[in-house]
């Protein structure tokens, strides 16, 4: 089974893929971007893909939501990966001599207190792993990379400081996507994409009231612009109820009766990694 993930080697996406998919039944295929992963799944270059959708500190990853809008894939699972960020250095470097810290934007944001205390400059890279790899290539003893323990092992870097993120309990939620829509017999969650039929006052409240009246708890709501007119949005919602449940089917039916376009993106269970 071919599984697409966001590269390069040493990313949290690779770590999530390694933990989620059994080693005897996977061939991991690396892609340069989240959109590339979703496209590979939709075009059947691979069987499945794993993409980050939300971080506990930084919130929704909009590149993933926009990709879900544009590509016909089915969400068949959800995996939550605890995130521990470390300061990595080349061999022989001293933490007190670090003058620059490299990483992807969200990781730098999650460690803002740490970098402020060090009074260092920050430099943005396309991923935590790319920052770690670049550090190795430069052999810069005055720079450090914020990345994972997997990245340290992958690129032969030392962990100068552990757990430098600003808040405890940091984690990232990943979606497992496929190009085959399975028959859902039992699931505890559902994800929908709702595109309103018309824009009117109280529109979101009306949509949310439908779920509330059917005792459906929503755990995630995200709006994205329709790109047709300023101020018009479509909504991602995640519910704590499988699509096989009668009330969930009623909610979808009512929304469609009101003229809204409803796309069921998936129904699944959560896995703790």
- Residue-wise pLDDT tens digits, 143-191: 999 999 999 999 999 999 999 998 888 899 999 999 988 888 889 999 9
Q: Which residue has the higher pLDDT, 236 or 184?
A: 236
d(CA 30, CA 5): 5
pLDDT at 245: 95
Q: How confident is the model at residue 267 (pLDDT cuts 50, 70, 90)?
A: very high
pLDDT at 181: 85
Question: Rounded to the nearest 5°, which phi and psi values hold at 107?
Answer: -65, -40
pLDDT at 172: 93
pTM: 0.87
Q: How confident is the model at residue 73 (pLDDT cuts 50, 70, 90)?
A: very high
- Residue-wise pLDDT tens digits, 210-223: 999 999 999 999 99
List, in order of start, the domains of the chain with CATH numbers.
2-82+170-178 (3.40.190.10), 86-161 (3.40.190.10), 189-272 (3.30.70.260)
The two three-digit tokens of residue 107, written as one number = 């990781």
pLDDT at 8 over 90: no
pLDDT at 201 over 90: no
pLDDT at 194 over 80: yes
């Amino acid at each position: 089974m071919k599984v697409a993930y966001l590269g390069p080697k040493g990313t949290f996406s690779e770590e999530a893929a390694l933990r989620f998919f059994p080693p005897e039944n996977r061939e991991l295929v690396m892609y340069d971007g989240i959109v590339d992963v979703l496209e590979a799944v939709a075009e059947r270059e691979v069987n499945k893909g794993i993409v980050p959708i939300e971080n506990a500190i930084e919130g929704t990853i909009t590149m993933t939501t926009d990709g879900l809008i544009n590509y016909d894939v089915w969400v068949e699972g959800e995996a939550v990966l605890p995130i521990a960020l470390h300061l990595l250095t080349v061999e022989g470097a001293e933490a007190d001599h670090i003058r620059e810290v490299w990483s992807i934007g969200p990781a730098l944001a999650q460690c803002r207190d740490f970098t402020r205390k060090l009074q260092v400059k920050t430099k943005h890279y396309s991923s935590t792993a790319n920052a770690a790899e670049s550090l190795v290539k430069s052999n810069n003893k005055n720079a450090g990379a914020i990345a994972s323990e997997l990245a340290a092992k992958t690129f032969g870097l030392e962990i100068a400081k552990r757990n430098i993120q600003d808040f405890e309990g940091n984690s990232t939620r990943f979606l497992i996507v496929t190009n085959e829509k399975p028959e859902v017999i039992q699931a505890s969650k559902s994800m929908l994409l709702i595109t309103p039929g018309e824009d009117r006052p109280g529109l979101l409240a009306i949509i949310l009231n439908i779920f509330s009246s059917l005792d459906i708890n929503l755990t995630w709501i995200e709006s994205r612009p329709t790109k047709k007119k300023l101020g018009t949005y479509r909504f991602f919602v995640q519910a704590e109820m499988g699509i096989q449940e009668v009330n969930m089917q009623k909610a979808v039916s009512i929304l469609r009766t009101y003229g809204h376009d409803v796309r069921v993106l998936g129904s699944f269970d959560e896995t703790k990694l």
